[in-house]
Amino acid sequence: MPADKHPLIHFPSEPVLLPVRSKETDKVEFVSLRKLLETRCKSLFQEFKELWWLSNGHLQTLYCVTGDFSKNDHMWYNRTYLRLSDGGTLGLDFAPVDQSTVPKDAPIVVVQHGLTGGSYEAYVRAILSRACLSQEKGGLGYRAVVINFRGCAGVPITSPLLYSAGNTDDSRCALMYVTQQFPNAPLLGLGFSLGANVLTRYLGEEGIDSKIHSGCVLACPWDLRQNNRGLLSTFFGKHVYSKALGGNLFGVMKRHLSAFIEDETHIVAEAAKATLTLKNPTLDEFDEAFTRIAGGPAPRWPFPNVDAYYGWCSSDIIVPRIRVPFLAINADDDPVVKHVPMDGGGNNFVVMTLTKGGGHLGWFQAGPGYVDRWTTKPVIEWLKLMGQDLIQDPVPKGRRLFTDVDGFLREKGRETLGVKVIDGGGIIDGNKGEVGMRQGL
């Protein structure tokens, strides 16, 4: 008998009731999150049928890195550079390029990319190419913004600070700017791998004050300590995946080394010099040497060791505090993420999905003439449900924004964070990877 390939989906015992517009009467009705997914995100319940030549999690994952995705899902962006009050820089890539073609109140897909990726990643383009396509051409007609982390996708590092799985302050700064520009637009969070962990932590930390109205995460690593131990427990996990992840981060640090060692007495400069002595580091070796020190601001950073860093930055511990509709999708054969908290933290806003197969950020199946991803359709249906069908509260969420005397946009009660637009940016070709970086991670 052929194996049943339907995903395992965990719903809370009492899913939250959400206000939606009835398709039949156009009136407002309150419907459970479960029923909404069963009736408006039907592809989430469909089987994942992997390609015969990508028949396990290792092959699916390796194809993310080695596959040629240059001919499909083309995306161009309009980049805005933001200077943060700590001296750092973010790159916000907006789509479509011509922002005047999208209404100011159109939903915005806010993307957090993977470990060392960016807006060019094929897993990002697969969804945004459809979400940002006009409704006349069969798309959703949404706006999107990819928050490129410090040092990723051509964004310079201009302060002695990297990004990490647990630092959500850069996301807060980016969202300050986005909500100022589009105060009436619902923000729909979409995270991949490390970016999924960042998004989940942001939603849990902010709770009812989240500027993001819904969340969808793919291949979230959840418990960083447990999944790192899983990586190191096998030869392939340690010497292929962990070293590939560690090598990519090592490359980012080396590329921007001058910013980290400008002040030779700074603790980050000392960590950078020590990290340079590593030979082909695994992910945890890099994080022990550098990320636990340079991955976020004081007073939380530095951590005494990598185990403490992983423990604090894990996202599974914060899932119970999420207060917006939240959908998570993982694969049961993901060689990078082996442990998934399928109970959803007992949160009635949270739905957990575990597919049978798919690898890490893979889910490759046969498409219309090319290799497609199973996840694309359910994510698009989720974004349509959250952006078009769900009735959003018109009152802006989060803390009040103001601009200080130096031109930094800040939040009331959180004045240590600030952001302002700087020169640069413009049209970005989102279809080319970054030299020296392995794609798909």
> Annotated active-site positions, please?
193, 334, 360
Burial class (CB in 10 A: 0-12, 13-18, 19+), 177: buried
Where residue 305 falls (left for φ over 0; alpha for ψ -120 to 50; beta otherwise) is beta
3-state DSSP helix/strand/coil % of the chain, to nearest 5 = 35, 20, 45
**CA 271 to CA 62: how far, in whole Å?**
31
Q: Hey, which residues does 111 pair with through a beta bridge? A: 146, 190
Whose structure tokens read 């990004």? 163
Nearest CA to 257 out of 246, 265, 269 is that of 269
Q: Hey, which residues does 131 pair with through a beta bridge? A: none
**What count of other Cβ atoms lies within 10 Å of the Cβ of residue 395?**
5
Q: What is the 3-state secondary structure (H, E, C) of 197-266?
A: HHHHHHHHHHHHHCCCCEEEEECCCCCHHHHHHHHHCCHHHHHHHHHHHHHHHHHHHHHCHHHHHCCCCC
Q: What angle do CA 337, 338, 340 make, to 5 degrees?
A: 85
DSSP code string of 277-296: T-SS--HHHHIIIIIHHHSS
Buried b (16+ CB within 10 A) or exposed e, 229-254: bbbbeeeebeebbbbbbbbbbbbbbe
Pairing mode, strands 28-32 and 17-21 = antiparallel
**CA 109 to CA 341: how far, in whole Å?**
25
What is the DSSP-derived secondary structure letter of residue 176?
H
Cα R_g (the chain), whole angstroms: 21
- In which element (H, E) is residue 35 found? helix 33-40
